[in-house]
Amino acid sequence: MPAWHEATWVDPDGKKKRGVRMGWLWLLLIPAVLILFSVARFNDYWQYDDFTVTTVACEAPLAEGATWSDMDAAGCEESEIPGIEIRLLDGGRPAEDVETDGTTWQFGNMPSAFTTLGLDVYLEESAGRVFIADASTTPPTVLREMRAGDVDRTVFARNLGDIDTLELYLVVAPR
């Protein structure tokens, strides 16, 4: 016995047939899924890349708003900074895939399509200023200065914001 809401009719042979089929819903669902997938792909929602942060130590202090030429004049060169710890954060969570040789830190499989990335730096010794620079340009472009998170100036943090590079310099200048 058909349900009260089920439409039925009789064909010329006298057999009853169901009138409403749910198969047509697939015709709506498939294009909706394709549209959502296209929008997500266009906006790079699945874009994950490897970030590289290279430490640069300076011999002389740097002023606020320093440029790369100021850093050259201060004797800044790529080098290992004893006791430094660098964390790349995605929405407050540190990267799990980290490799370092002491000078270069590689963070694997981090989302590069969003502006939720941040950088935390922990130093053994006090520093005057810490800058983030784009290592992929010639000469490197200073992107922003990091903020000191403690009175001793051994903890620095900064949101990376909207950056177009996967290679960064972390420039540490003395007091």
Report yes or no on 2 lying in a domain.
no
Are 33 and 63 contained in the same domain? no
Contact 49, 112 (CB under 8 A): yes
SS3 32: helix
Residues with Cβ within 8 Å of 131's Cβ and at least 6 positions away in sequence, in order, are 62, 66, 71, 142, 143, 144, 145, 146, 169, 170, 171, 173
The total number of residues written for the chain in this structure: 175
Same domain, 25 and 79: no
Residues 149, 71, single domain; the answer is: yes
Query: Tens-of-pLDDT digits for all 175 residues of the chain?
Result: 555 555 555 666 666 555 556 667 777 888 888 888 787 766 656 678 899 999 999 999 999 999 999 999 999 999 999 999 999 998 888 988 899 999 999 999 888 777 789 999 999 999 999 999 999 999 999 999 999 999 999 999 999 888 889 999 999 999 8
Rounded (10°) CA dihedral 37, 42, 47, 53: -160
Tens of pLDDT, residues 146-163: 999 999 999 999 998 888
For 92-107, the pLDDT digits (tens) are 889 888 999 999 999 9
In terms of residue numbers, what domain contains 121?
A: 48-173
| Alpha helix stretches (DSSP H) within the chain | 24-42, 68-73
Do 137 and 65 reside in the same domain of the chain? yes
Dihedral angle over CA of 88, 117, 110, 100, nearest 10: -20
**Whether residues 97 and 156 fall in one domain:** yes
User: Does residue 1 fall inside a structural domain?
Assistant: no
Residues 19 and 102 in one domain: no
Domain count within the chain = 2
SS3 assignment, position 161: coil
Residues 16 and 59 in one domain: no
* Whether residue 136 sits in one domain with residue 85: yes
Confirm whether 23 is domain-assigned: yes
| pTM > 0.75: yes or no | no
Kindly state whether residues 95 and 162 are assigned to the same domain.
yes
Query: CA-to-CA distance for 133 and 108, rounded, in angstroms?
Result: 19
Contact (CB, 8 A) for 80 and 103: yes
Asked, for residue 135, whether it belongs to a domain, the answer is: yes
Question: Is residue 100, in this structure, part of any structural domain at all?
Answer: yes
